[in-house]
């Protein structure tokens, strides 16, 4: 119960926030490579904000992911993503997660953020996973980081994460140096496979990270065992990936109405139902759903509005999901049901579209 009391202190929907008032703009102004063309839009006063424990800075509790969705080959239609970003930003969204692993996603973000004039207002979370030519060499990591900054059109990245714990020791050492010299503000590590959480947990338990990024959804709750409690204990912020289980959660609720009680937490759609459940956990800082569709973005960012479920309501939501056929099989279903992507990642022999 105490853990949910803590929610009330970390979820702040009452104050008039602007990230820039809490440090972001100061940092942005110190970065000479930043461009913007319009005035910053204040974050709406009535949306769910969460505190990053290390600094007290607040961020909106719904961000945006870019895996597959923002990877578009040059020359292919991608104007819809400008709309996705605009709706996200106008709705109060600021945290965007990406990676060099996501093909051209960084390029798409950098391009549209610049065109929309919002580059310096965003909280950009990026990743690194390469190291170098020999044990302890981090030259590839340095080059990858440099290229990411160029693609995102930023001299400073807000959060840098070691992608899926690959080469964690070398990459985290490099990230510590970048943090010391102001090239990044926070460092972290990610994974999406629960089978790796036992390797992730010690990093969180010793407080070595500012952020941990893990998969956590109504269908995949293993993070509750070690990672989320450790994050609360050590003041580690938590970013949640795969909040919709790569669209598989929508597959099982297709054609089903929301339960009546969803109205009590202001969830008007299944997307908001899924997101509100995640961001109401006291350890969670933000969830990062990905979409290619402006309409879905409006839906997702809408989860920032209205009340969040308390502990009892969260159990009620889970119990309801457990009555839906196939709920216990979600993680084993094919990812991205019915969707196709046309980016550079798709070219690889192990692209998500080619996996069985
Ligand atoms: N190891 C790692 O570091 C790691 C691993 C996985 C993910 N991530 C990060 O987490 C982010 C999110 O995870 P994810 O992209 O794998 O999966 P996700 O966000 O769980 O699901 C994305 C899928 O959900 C659909 N969707 C989104 N909003 C919807 C809505 N309102 N209604 C219906 N469908 C909707 C999207 O289709 P439409 O395009 O049709 O909307 C998309 O195919 C990634 O993009 C990435 O940034 C990191």
Buried/exposed 266-275: b ≥16 CB within 10 Å, e otherwise:
ebebbbbbbb
Q: Please tell me the predicted confidence (pLDDT) of residue 40.
A: 67
- Count of the separate structural domains present in the chain: 1
Contacts of 175 (CB under 8 A, 6+ apart): 128, 160, 162, 184, 187
Q: Please tell me the predicted confidence (pLDDT) of residue 348.
A: 73
- Residues in the ligand 1 pocket, defined by CB under 6 Å: 65-67, 69, 97, 163-164, 190-192, 213, 241-247, 250, 271, 288-293, 296, 299-300, 336, 339
Instruction: Tell me the C-alpha distance between 131 and 124, whole Å.
Output: 22
Question: What number of residues does the chain have?
Answer: 356
For ligand 1, atom 14, the nearest C-alpha belongs to 242
Q: Give counts: helices (H), strands (E), the chain.
A: 12, 9
Atom index in ligand 1 nearest the CA of residue 67 equals: 45
Instruction: Tell me the C-alpha distance between 229 and 141, whole Å.
Output: 31
Distance 172 CA to ligand 1 centre (A): 26
Q: Please tell me the predicted confidence (pLDDT) of residue 37.
A: 39
| Residue 76 CB neighbour total at 10 angstroms | 9
For ligand 1, atom 10, the nearest C-alpha belongs to 241
Instruction: Tell me the C-alpha distance between 107 and 153, whole Å.
Output: 9
Instruction: Tell me the C-alpha distance between 71 and 285, whole Å.
Output: 25
Give 19-48 pLDDT, tens digit per residue. 333 333 222 222 333 333 345 678 998 999
Q: What CATH number should be reported for the domain holding residue 79?
A: 3.20.20.100
Atom index in ligand 1 nearest the CA of residue 290 equals: 19
Determine the structural domain holding residue 335 and report its residue range. 2-354
Atom index in ligand 1 nearest the CA of residue 70 equals: 45
Distance 181 CA to ligand 1 centre (A): 33
Give 165-214 pLDDT, tens digit per residue. 999 999 999 999 999 999 999 999 999 999 999 999 999 999 999 999 99
| Residue 128 CB neighbour total at 10 angstroms | 29
| Residue 328 CB neighbour total at 10 angstroms | 12
- What's the alpha-carbon Rg for the chain, to the nearest Å? 19
Q: Please tell me the predicted confidence (pLDDT) of residue 7.
A: 33
CB 94 within 8 A of CB 123: yes
Atom index in ligand 1 nearest the CA of residue 161 equals: 3
Instruction: Tell me the C-alpha distance between 27 and 238, whole Å.
Output: 22
Distance 300 CA to ligand 1 centre (A): 11
Atom index in ligand 1 nearest the CA of residue 66 equals: 45
Give the pLDDT of the chain (356 residues) as one tens digit per residue: 333 333 322 343 333 333 333 333 222 222 333 333 345 678 998 999 999 999 999 999 999 999 999 999 989 999 999 999 999 999 999 999 999 999 999 999 999 999 999 999 999 999 998 999 998 899 999 999 999 999 999 999 999 999 999 999 999 999 999 999 999 999 999 999 999 999 999 999 999 999 999 999 999 999 999 999 999 999 999 999 999 999 999 999 999 999 999 999 999 999 999 999 999 999 999 999 999 999 999 999 999 999 999 999 999 999 999 999 999 999 999 999 999 998 999 887 666 655 44
Distance 11 CA to ligand 1 centre (A): 24
Q: For Cα atoms 118, 119, 125, give the angle at the middle one, nearest 5 degrees.
A: 120
Instruction: Tell me the C-alpha distance between 68 and 270, whole Å.
Output: 22
CB 197 within 8 A of CB 223: yes
Using CB atoms within 10 A of its CB, is residue 205 exposed (0-12), middle (13-18) or buried (19+)? middle
DSSP single-letter state for residue 257: P
Distance 68 CA to ligand 1 centre (A): 8
Collapse the DSSP code of 343 into the 3-class scheme (helix H, G, I; strand E, B; otherwise coil) and give the result.
coil
């Amino acid at each position: 119960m105490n853990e949910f009391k803590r929610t009330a202190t970390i979820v702040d929907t009452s104050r008039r926030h602007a990230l820039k008032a809490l440090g972001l703009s100061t940092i942005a102004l110190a970065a000479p490579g930043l461009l913007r063309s319009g005035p910053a839009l204040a974050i709406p006063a009535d949306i769910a904000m969460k505190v990053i424990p290390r600094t007290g800075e607040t961020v909106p509790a719904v961000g945006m992911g870019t895996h597959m969705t923002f990877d578009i080959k040059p020359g292919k239609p991608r104007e819809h993503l400008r709309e996705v970003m605009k709706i996200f930003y106008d709705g109060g969204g600021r945290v965007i997660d990406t990676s060099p692993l996501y093909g051209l996603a960084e390029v798409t973000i950098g391009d549209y953020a610049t065109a929309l004039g919002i580059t310096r207002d965003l909280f950009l979370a990026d990743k690194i996973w390469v190291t170098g030519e020999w044990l302890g060499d981090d030259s590839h990591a340095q080059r990858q980081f440099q290229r990411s900054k160029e693609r995102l059109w930023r001299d400073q990245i807000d959060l840098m994460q070691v992608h899926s714990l690959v080469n964690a020791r070398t990459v985290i050492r490099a990230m510590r140096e970048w943090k010391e010299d102001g090239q990044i503000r926070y460092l972290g590590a990610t994974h999406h496979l629960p089978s790796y959480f036992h390797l992730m947990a010690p990093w969180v338990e010793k407080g070595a990270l500012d952020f941990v990024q893990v998969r956590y959804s109504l269908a995949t709750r293993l993070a509750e065992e070690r990672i989320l409690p450790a994050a609360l204990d050590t003041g580690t912020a938590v970013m949640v990936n795969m909040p919709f289980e790569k669209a598989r959660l929508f597959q099982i609720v297709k054609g089903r109405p929301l339960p009546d009680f969803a109205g009590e937490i202001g969830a008007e759609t299944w997307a908001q139902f899924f997101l509100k459940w995640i961001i109401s956990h006291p350890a969670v800082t933000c969830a990062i759903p990905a979409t290619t569709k402006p309409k879905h973005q409006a839906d997702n960012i809408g989860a920032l509005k209205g009340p969040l479920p308390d502990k009892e309501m969260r159990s009620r939501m889970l119990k309801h999901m457990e009555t839906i056929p196939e709920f216990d099989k979600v993680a084993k279903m094919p990812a991205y049901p019915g969707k196709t992507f046309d980016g550079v990642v798709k070219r690889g022999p192990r692209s998500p579209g080619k996996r069985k």
